[in-house]
Amino acid sequence: MSNCVNCGKRLNQAVFNAEETMKSCPRCSTTHGSMHVFHPYPNGFGTTEARISENNPDGIQSYCVECRTLERGEESHVYHLHPTCTQV
């Protein structure tokens, strides 16, 4: 797995912008291949009670709404529509 050319963190690791209004989607970022790809947070991800934990009290999903509709192993097709690590 490669790292983001801007922040150096792994692409399959979700990161937030400074204001925590945008969150990267690991699947979109991995498909992009060189930078984290961000979606509005929290609306771009959705929530579920199954993901509620001490570290995730709101139960925010890991992948964006669009990526959760894809088949296992299918690459994201929306990554180019959203801001990347250099744009947030």
84 forms beta bridges with: 37
Q: Name the band, by pLDDT with cuts 50, 70 and 90, for residue 9.
A: very high
> What does the DSSP 8-state code read for residue 59?
-
pLDDT digits (tens, 9 = 90+) for 71-83: 888 888 766 667 8
Other C-beta atoms lying within 10 Å of the C-beta of residue 68:
14
pLDDT attached to residue 1: 67
pLDDT attached to residue 73: 82
pLDDT digits (tens, 9 = 90+) for 16-70: 999 999 999 999 999 989 999 999 998 999 999 999 999 989 899 999 999 999 8
pLDDT attached to residue 79: 63
Contact of 76 with 28, CB cutoff 8 Å? yes
Tokens of 45: 């991800």
